Structure 1
Amino acid sequence: MSGLGPGNDVPDVTQGPALLGVSVTMTALALLTSILRFCVRVRINRKVVWDDLVLGVAMLFGLIGAIMTLVEGANQENMTTVIKFDYLSQPWLSLTSALSKVSICLFFLRLVSRIRAWKIVLGAQASMIVLVSLIYCFTTLLQCRPLEKLWNMSVDGECWGMEVQHGIEYFQGAYDVFSGLFIALFPLMVIRDLGISRGLRLPFYILSITSVV
C-alpha cells in the first residue's frame, strides 16, 4: 500500500511558509511603527505616558508570541512540537491583543478626562478586556495537569472536558469582537461631547468606518 507522502504525485497545498512570511512582515511593521511612535512622543511631548508604556508591553508580548509561532512553523515534521508551541503562544498573543486595546482605551481616557461618564465606561471596558484575556490565558495553560499533557497525550495526567475550554474560547472570541467594535465606534459616540465642530468630524467618521471594515 502506497502512502501519501512528499514523493507522491499529490500537490503540496500547505500555506505555512506564506503565513509565516505574513506573520514576520506584520510583526516587523508593528515593531517599526511602535518605535516611531515612541520617538515622536519623546520628541514632541518630552515624556512617555501610560498608553505608550502599555503599548510597549503589548509589543514585547507580541514578539514573544511571534517567536513561538516561528518555532512552531519551523517544526512541521514534529507534531508534538507544533502543538506545544501553538498552545504556549496563545496566551502571549491574547495578551498582546488585549493590551493593545487597553492602550487605545487609555488614549481615549486622556481625551475625555473631564467627562466622568465616559471615564467610567472606558475604565470598565479596559478592566474587562484584561480580565477576559487573563481568564483565557490561565484556563488555556491549566486545562491539563501536568501541562505537558496538552501536547503529549501519552503523559500520565488528566484534562477537563473540551467543552469547558471551548466555551471559554467562544466567550473570549465574542468579547474580543465586541471590544474591537466598541473601540472602533467610540470616536463616533463621544464626538459631540468633545465639542468638535461639524466641519472637523469627517476624519473621525472615516476612522471609525475603516476600523469596523
Structure 2
Amino acid sequence: MPELPASIRACLFDLDGVLTDTAALHAAAWKESFDEYLLVGGSAADAAYRPFDIDGDYRTFVDGKRRADGVSSFFDSRGLEVPIEVQRQVAATKTARFDDLVRTQGLEVYPDVIGYLNYLRAAGIHRAVVSASEHCKDLVEAAGIADYFESRVDGQRATADGLAGKPAPDTYLAAASDLGYAAADCAVFEDAISGLQAGAAGGFGAVVGVNRRSLDSQPFFAAGATVVVESFDDLAH
C-alpha cells in the first residue's frame, strides 16, 4: 500500500474530483456552454465545431484551470479565433449552468474524505484546499468540510494576489506558504492533468494523482504524479 513520505507536514487538496464529486457537474456545465456556441458557430461536419467531448476536451484543456484560461485553451485547441466578449459569455454561461446543477443535484463528498481528513488532523498534518473555482468557499461550506482546512487558495484569492493558475504552481505554493512550509514538506492531491503538472513544477514532496474514475494511470504519472490512487483508503494511514 503506497504511503506519503515521512517528511510530509502538510497536504494540499484540489476540490472538484478529489474531495467533492463535482467534477462531473463541471464537465456537464462546460459541455452545455461550449456546445451552445459550437452549434451556432459552424457546421458539425467541420472538425473545429464538433461537439465538446467530456473525456477528451474537458480533461485536456479545461479541467483544473480558471474559467477564462479553460475557455481560451479549448478554443485554441480547435484553432478558433473567438472574440474575448464571446469567451466571457461562454464562461458566464458555464457558471450559471454549474450553479443550476448544484442546486438540482446537490453536492456530495466522497465517502473516504472525512475519515482521511480526520486522520491527518489527528496526526498533526496541516491541510489546505486549492481550487481554481471562484465559489470554493461556498462549496466547501455546503459540503460541510470547511473547518478541516487552515488555508483556502481559490479563484478569488488567485485574482486578488495575481497568482497564475494551474498548470503554474503558484496557487499551491501560496497554500504551502500560508501553512508555513516549503513545497518539499507538502503533498499535493490532484485529479486534473493541469493540477498534477502544477505539483510537479512546484517541487512538492509528493504529488498524489487521485484517479476516482479508474482511468488509465499513465497520463497521471506523465503529468507528474509520484503515486496514483483511486481512493484515500488506498494510502497507508
TM range (shorter): under 0.3
TM-score scaled by length of structure 1:
0.26
Larger proportion of helix:
1
TM-score scaled by length of structure 2:
0.25
Give the structure, 1 or 2, with the largest relative contact order (CA under 8 Å, sep 6 or more).
2
Larger Rg: 1
